[in-house]
């Protein structure tokens, strides 16, 4: 059975089994014999907003599983309120749906997050954790990691969208399509999915619109130096992969965050200075390690004498919590192929953006991909393209301007980023 048909069958079955007062275990056991759906959960987020999740099996490999999420207002227990606008959110690197979009569940004291904000406004918010995000810490079977590349992940996005639409149909929300909202590498995958879907018959398409959050799909001609840099990085990553490294260990991010939170003033075992200094360096001057743009950084900080001394947009505990919550494993093939896509050589998927005709909303951060992500939006065939780049500072201070992850975690991200995005989604429902 294809991933899309598996998703459809599982979702319809799940919806048919759910009753207002049933517990998650009861629903899970009722479908577990088919091996399609398991681990159904329901958690209260805030007010009448609840977070559902379940595991969807998409193949026979050891890690052929996706965790699907739904954040939505309820009218009764296990009964979502009717919604007309719906979106599927795809997370970025060293992250999960929760750590990117519902940070309050990952970090005590963190803000509600983008998913919760949209759900409060009446958007039916869906999400997916990619296969590698479900692999537990410690020794694990990663024998299928060499297959976890872009083509497979594009198929998985289709399976997740099919499941979401099936559940919405079963729940009485209609057969409307979903917007695909991807952050960072999740946005790159979303571009790739939109290109692939454009070649399918209309009745097999799931997209109402495309929302890349701070990422480019193709690099502008005037940024040729950046493209060549991505080619060099991709070549190094590919050499590592071909040498047998199939699992990209994310424990580095977790360690940086944990030390900064638990012992901020102690000497860092990784970088010169304290543990707090190490985290500020990693998130505030990310371009020293990874530079898709000249002064790319994850979180905006105040720079004094060449060093970040404090974060200015996102609370430090929230950023530390995001790093701590990094899944322990990640597919090395995904990382290699992401570089190949940006390089424009050996790309595993088509990035012919001219095939994209659905409405597009680009939301960037000046200190992240920012204006460099605008060129991609000019290459699509859609006549409905909206762009917004969040910026606070003049161009010569881009090193301290609104950062990549500030779109998700900044104290006023709701006003600067989430509300404009929500307005667009509701206007395009």
Each residue's pLDDT tens digit in the chain (429 positions)?
Answer: 565 555 555 554 454 444 444 544 333 443 444 456 788 999 999 999 999 999 999 999 999 999 999 999 999 999 999 999 999 999 999 999 999 999 998 877 777 899 999 999 999 999 999 999 999 998 899 999 999 999 999 999 999 999 999 999 988 999 999 999 999 999 999 999 999 999 999 999 999 999 999 999 999 999 999 999 999 999 999 999 999 999 999 999 999 999 999 999 999 999 999 999 999 999 999 999 999 999 999 999 999 999 999 999 999 999 999 999 999 999 999 999 999 999 999 999 999 999 999 999 999 999 999 999 999 999 999 999 999 999 999 999 999 999 999 999 999 999 999 999 999 999 998
Q: Of 252, 262, 314, 325, whose CA–CA distance to 106 is shortest?
A: 325
Determine the pLDDT at residue 2. Answer: 60
Q: Phi and psi for 125 in degrees, rounded to 5?
A: -95, 125
Taking residue 328's Cβ as centre, other Cβ atoms within 10 Å add up to 18
Determine the pLDDT at residue 169. Answer: 93
Report CA torsion sign: 294, 243, 95, 352: positive
Report CA torsion sign: 141, 136, 212, 341: negative
Determine the pLDDT at residue 33. Answer: 42
Q: What tokens appear for 58 in the block?
A: 């998409």
Residue position matching structure tokens 């404090």: 310
Show the domains of the chain with their CATH numbers. 3-223+331-427 (3.40.50.1820), 234-324 (no CATH)
Residue position matching structure tokens 């089994």: 17
Q: What tokens appear for 1 in the block?
A: 């059975």
CA distance 142 to 247: 7
Q: Phi and psi for 59 in degrees, rounded to 5?
A: 170, -170
Radius of gyration for the chain, computed over Cα atoms and rounded to the nearest angstrom: 21
Q: Of 212, 216, 209, whose CA–CA distance to 425 is shortest?
A: 209
**How would you write 195-240 as a 3-class SS string?**
HHHHCCCHHHCCEEEEEEECCCCCCCHHHHHHHHHHHHHHHHHHHH
* Cα end-to-end span (Å), the chain: 31
Determine the pLDDT at residue 21. Answer: 47
Contact 345, 274 (CB under 8 A): no
Residues 6+ apart with CB under 8 A from 37: 10, 13, 14, 28, 31, 54, 55, 56, 57
Contact 69, 126 (CB under 8 A): yes
Contact 142, 88 (CB under 8 A): no
Strand partners, 56: 37, 66
Q: What tokens appear for 381 in the block?
A: 């065939």
């Amino acid at each position: 059975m294809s991933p899309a048909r598996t998703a459809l069958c599982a979702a319809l079955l799940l919806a048919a089994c759910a009753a207002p007062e049933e517990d998650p275990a009861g629903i899970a056991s009722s479908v577990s014999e088919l091996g399609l759906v398991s681990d159904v959960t329901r958690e209260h987020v805030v007010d009448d907003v609840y977070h559902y999740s379940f595991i969807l099996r998409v193949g026979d490999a050891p890690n052929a599983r996706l965790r699907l999420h739904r954040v939505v207002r309820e009218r009764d227990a296990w009964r979502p309120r009717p919604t007309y606008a719906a979106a599927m959110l795809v997370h970025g690197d060293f992250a999960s749906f929760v750590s990117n979009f519902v940070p309050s569940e990952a970090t005590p004291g963190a803000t509600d997050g983008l998913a919760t904000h949209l759900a409060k406004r009446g958007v039916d918010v869906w999400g997916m954790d990619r296969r590698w995000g479900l692999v537990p810490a410690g020794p694990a079977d990663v024998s299928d990691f060499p297959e976890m590349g872009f083509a497979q992940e594009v198929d998985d996005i289709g399976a997740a969208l099919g499941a979401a639409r099936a559940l919405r149909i079963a729940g009485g929300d209609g057969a409307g399509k979903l917007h695909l909202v991807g952050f960072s590498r999740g946005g790159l995958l979303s571009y790739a999915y939109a290109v692939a879907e454009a070649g399918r018959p209309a009745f097999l398409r799931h997209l109402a619109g495309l929302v890349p959050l701070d990422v480019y799909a193709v690099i502008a001609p005037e940024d040729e130096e950046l493209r060549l840099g991505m080619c060099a990085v991709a070549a190094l990553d590919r050499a590592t992969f071909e040498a047998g490294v199939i699992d990209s260990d994310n424990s580095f991010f977790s360690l940086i965050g944990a030390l900064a939170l638990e012992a901020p003033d102690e000497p860092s075992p990784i970088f010169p200075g304290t543990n707090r200094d190490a985290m500020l360096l990693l998130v505030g001057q990310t371009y020293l390690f990874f530079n898709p743009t000249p002064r790319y950084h994850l979180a905006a900080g105040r720079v004094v004498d060449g060093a970040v001394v404090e974060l200015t947009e996102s609370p430090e505990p929230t950023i530390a919590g995001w790093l701590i919550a990094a899944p322990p494993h990640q597919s090395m093939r995904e990382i290699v192929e992401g570089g190949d896509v940006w390089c424009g050589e050996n790309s595993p998927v088509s990035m012919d953006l001219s095939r994209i005709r659905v409405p597009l909303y680009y939301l960037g951060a000046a200190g992240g991909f920012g204006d460099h992500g605008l060129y991609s939006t000019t290459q699509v065939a859609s006549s409905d393209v909206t762009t917004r780049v969040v910026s606070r500072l003049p161009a010569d201070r881009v090193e301290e301007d609104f950062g990549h992850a500030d779109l998700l975690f900044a104290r006023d991200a709701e006003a600067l980023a989430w509300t404009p995005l929500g307005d667009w989604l509701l206007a395009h429902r």
